[in-house]
Amino acid sequence: MRAFEALQLPNGSVIPNRIAKAAMEENLADVAQGPSAELLRLYQAWAEGGTGLLLTGNVMVDRRAMTGPGGVVLEDQRQLDKFREWARIGRSHGAQIWMQLNHPGRQMQANLGQQTVAPSAVALELGGLSKMFPVPKALDDAEIAALIERFARSAQLAEQAGFNGVQIHAAHGYLISQFLSPLSNKRTDDWGGSLANRARLLLEVIKAVRARVAPGFSVAVKLNSADFQRGGFAEADAKQVVLLLNELAVDMVELSGGSYEAPAMQGDSRDGRTLAREAYFLEFAGEIAAVAQMPVMVTGGIRRLPVVEQVLASGVAMAGIGTALAIEPALPKQWQAGLHEACAELPPIRWKNKALASLAYMATVKFQLRQLSRGKRTHAQVSPLRALLLEQLKAARRTRVYKRLMTSEG
């Protein structure tokens, strides 16, 4: 069965099968922003579950720039032993584990108390929730150079800790994705305007990372297939960026889509398109895989083995699974044991307020992650409202801890 065939990457390393645990934001850092015991327990469940590749949730390259409180940060050697244990657990059953490196840019909530930055001073448009995110400061050349160095340094530290690779997050409306999109990048210098200029930050980050790690250490990219917003980053742009990535030593490109403004990664869009309930981005992936010189992975709603096989038959090299593995981490092991009909999914949330429904969906996923992190059973039928309220309470507590930490560090 092709899902359980090995995949050799351009750098020569081998992933034991074609199923990846896609990145999900866990918000399970300890009080010092390192991997907590709960986070390690969660990855133990996934390591035992049978995927060939584990992609971590966001690991931030700057503790002042967080996708949320409770996020893990790797910017120096202070807690490297904790990361070594994380890597050891990830590899313990034969999978590779890659660290996803990220910077939120303007997608950082105002209540965290930090200055947000972006390619341009363009605020998020989230209707009544817009006030949750401040107008960002436009980065200058020196700040951009410092950010590139942060990605390179974090990748170097990830390799020292024993991770098999890193994934540069250039999707979902975070900083590098903001540079790629003409909706958020209004610059007129060498970092904006043409697609080549808008892609420059991504390319420079990859070059800097590759210069700091060994040839056998994997460097991957998570890229939007589209923003799903009119006038934004589109499929044709994604194809051109992949052609640019072909010129660099990139070992895999994962295709996803959307942002906080249009959460297409949850099957929703803002430009009128209806996305399939499963394998949302597959329609774009085959075309991009045809021009990519590295393996392509597609993520978005996959939860059944026949869909994994459909993804692989399209020319895509790996199927990334997120929410289904938050509910049942052993799904790949079940499939391999012959339980081909095994499936795991959350009920859809049909609230009229799409932004609030998006937050509730993420909270429902995080509820499952917390259950696994405590060694408990998941509960796919949990009330979205209950999950959202619990997440808001926990986020408020984590925010207070984070703000105290930032104050103490001056």
CA distances from 83 to 39, 248, 273 (A): 11, 28, 41
Q: Residue 245 above 80 pLDDT? A: yes
What's the CATH code of the domain at 65?
3.20.20.70
Confidence of residue 22 (pLDDT cuts 50, 70, 90): very high
Residue 244 belongs to what domain range?
A: 2-346
**Mean pLDDT within 143-158:** 98
Q: Residue 230 above 70 pLDDT? A: no
Asked if residue 409 belongs to a domain, the reply is no
- Number of structural domains (the chain) is 1
Asked if residue 380 belongs to a domain, the reply is no
Q: Residue 265 above 60 pLDDT? A: no
Asked if residue 383 belongs to a domain, the reply is no
Confidence of residue 268 (pLDDT cuts 50, 70, 90): very low
Q: Residue 261 above 60 pLDDT? A: no
Asked if residue 98 belongs to a domain, the reply is yes
User: What percentage of the chain reaches a pLDDT higher than 90?
Assistant: 78
Asked if residue 276 belongs to a domain, the reply is yes
Residues 222, 223, 225, 226, CA torsion sign: positive
Q: Residue 281 above 90 pLDDT? A: no
Confidence of residue 389 (pLDDT cuts 50, 70, 90): very high
Given this model, what pLDDT does residue 141 score?
Answer: 97
Asked if residue 226 belongs to a domain, the reply is yes
Given this model, what pLDDT does residue 287 score?
Answer: 85
String of DSSP letters for 348-393: P---S-HHHHHHHHHHHHHHHHHHHHTTPPP-TT--HHHHHHHHHH
pTM of the predicted model as reported, rounded to 2 decimal places: 0.93
Please give the backbone phi and psi of residue 73, each rounded to the nearest 5 degrees, phi first: -125, 135
Confidence of residue 301 (pLDDT cuts 50, 70, 90): confident
Q: Mean pLDDT across the chain, nearest whole number?
A: 91
Q: Residue 282 above 80 pLDDT? A: no
Given this model, what pLDDT does residue 233 score?
Answer: 77
CA-CA distance, 322 to 391, in Å (whole number)?
19
Q: Residue 385 above 80 pLDDT? A: yes
Asked if residue 156 belongs to a domain, the reply is yes
**Mean pLDDT within 293-321:** 92
Asked if residue 169 belongs to a domain, the reply is yes
